[in-house]
Amino acid sequence: GRLFVRGADSMLGCLGGEAAGFDAEGWYDTGDLVERSGDAVRFLGRAAALINVGGQKVTPAEVEAALGALVDVIDCQAYALPHALTGQVVAARVVLATDESSAAFKQRMRAALRGRLEAYKIPVRVEVVDGLMGPRGKKISPR
């Protein structure tokens, strides 16, 4: 679920005096998605980055982890693509170590991910690219 924090050492407010993110009891919504297991808390991603496929929530990090485990995938980025029926679908950009085409990779990817991810989490659009764009439009070099 979403991570809310409150404590004596937490911030007093936001620049400009706005209390956005705080509820009436002083809990602050960080906007992060986490999963708790015993004493551990695992960061899943930002709530705003969730992909909503017909009401099913998908974290880009889960899709990227599955794609990144495939042979010849150097880097990848999962993102939402608007869809008339489901609202959004999962799409991906991948950087490959080979010159495999987008169509060939998509076919191989679908077969490999069928047993790892639910069908709605498998990217419907895949684009093989030379590199991914990082912060401020700078291209991220392959590893």
Q: CA-CA distance, 60 to 68, in Å (whole number)?
A: 12
Comparing CA positions, the residue from 78, 69, 85, 84 lying closest to residue 51 is: 78
Range of the domain at 26: 2-47
Task: Give the pLDDT confidence score for residue 142 in this predicted structure.
Answer: 44
In one-letter notation, the amino acid at residue 75 is D
pTM for the model stands at: 0.70
In this prediction, residue 14 carries a pLDDT of 64
Instruction: Look at residue 17 in the predicted model and tell me its pLDDT.
Output: 57
Domain finish residue from 32, 47, 62: 47
Same domain, 35 and 60: no
Q: Are 87 and 133 in a shared domain?
A: yes
Instruction: Specify the pLDDT at position 30.
Output: 77
Q: What is the CATH number of the domain that holds 56?
A: 3.30.300.30
pLDDT at 86: 94
Cβ(127)–Cβ(121) below 8 Å: no
Distance CA 62, CA 68 (A): 10
64 shares its domain with 99? yes
Same domain, 43 and 81: no
In this structure, the answer to whether residues 90 and 119 fall within a common structural domain is yes
Q: Are residues 31 and 99 in the same domain?
A: no
Per-residue tens of pLDDT for the chain, all 143 residues: 778 788 777 666 666 655 566 777 878 777 777 778 888 888 777 766 789 999 999 999 899 999 999 999 999 999 999 999 999 999 999 999 999 998 999 999 999 999 899 999 999 999 999 988 655 444 444 43
The answer to whether residues 102 and 73 belong to one domain is yes
7 and 54 together in one domain: no
**Residues 102, 57 share a domain:** yes
Total domains present in the chain = 2
Residues 56 and 34 reside in one and the same domain: no
Instruction: Please state, in angstroms and rounded to a whole number, the distance separating the CA atoms of residues 102 and 17.
Output: 49
54 and 94 together in one domain: yes
